Amino acid sequence: MKVKQLKSFLDDYLNVAKIEDTSLNGLQVGDLNNNISQVGFAVDASLKLFKTAAKEDYNFLIVHHGLFWGEPFPIIGLNWERFKVMIENKLNLYAAHLPLDLHSKIGHNAQMVKILKLENVKPFGNYKGTDVGFCGEFEKKKSVPEMEKLLKKLLGKYTFLDFGKDRIKTVAIVSGGAASLIPEAIEKNIDLYITGEPSHSLFHFIKEGKLNVVYGGHYKTETFGLLALQKLIEVKFNLKTKFFDIPTGF
């Protein structure tokens, strides 16, 4: 399979051209006429990823956080090392940021909604005019201990600010660094808001707004869509795939 064929599928499936983002979504580095050996997935583009993928012969990499974020930068120092490894090993790098957050089927947030078995799901989380997450509700209200068991299965480690209702019905989810959308959750009377990265400055706002908030980790909450996309690519194109787990601890 050629790089241009997988690129074309991803561009269409993830609706890349129609989603405004600071990330340069799509193929960031690569040769359209290269043959794909194996497809690797990772949350972040990094030198460790590039070296490991090259060693294991994964020459098409799909990441959530790519290398280009709106501003030009010189290809020197650490950036030179990254591009040198990619070019010498003929690696192709594809980035999908917001397109993978908000995708209604295989996106990070849609996958968490699916795992929690939420019903009556609607878009949530207005970011520059686009809803990047989802909200839904449980069939029956969950107590805080019941919710904690579900969160343990979903996220493993997490921080729970249980400042809101002790019976949880409605849940909103926006992966990654989306603490800025907490006011929307309070305004819409959401019982529980799940995101990745905490915000110290919003602690008292959350407490005074009587909202339950779960911080599941920026890295962890942005693995779900990649794993779902991995399964899709593997089945649809019969390509060998691998998720490169390189956690940041955040």
Spatial strand order of the sheet with 26-29 comes to 26-29, 92-95, 60-65, 39-44, 241-243
Q: Which CATH superfamily is domain 108-217 in?
A: NIF3 (NGG1p interacting factor 3)-like (3.40.1390.30)
Query: pTM value?
Result: 0.96
The CATH number corresponding to 3-100 among 3.30.70.2860, 3.40.1390.30, 1.10.940.10, 3.40.47.10 equals: 3.40.1390.30
Q: What is the pLDDT of residue 202?
A: 96
Residue type, 78: L
| Predicted local confidence at residue 24, as pLDDT | 97
- Residue 212, SS3 per DSSP: strand
pLDDT along the chain (250 residues), means of 10: 98 96 97 96 98 98 97 94 97 98 97 98 93 97 96 96 97 97 97 97 96 98 98 97 97
Asked if the domains at 3-100 and 108-217 fall in one CATH topology, the answer is yes
* pLDDT for residue 128: 85
- The whole-number pLDDT of residue 25 equals 98
Domain layout of the chain by residue ranges = 3-100, 108-217
Give 52-91 as a DSSP string. Answer: HHHHTT--EEEEEE-S--SS---S-HHHHHHHHHHHHTT-
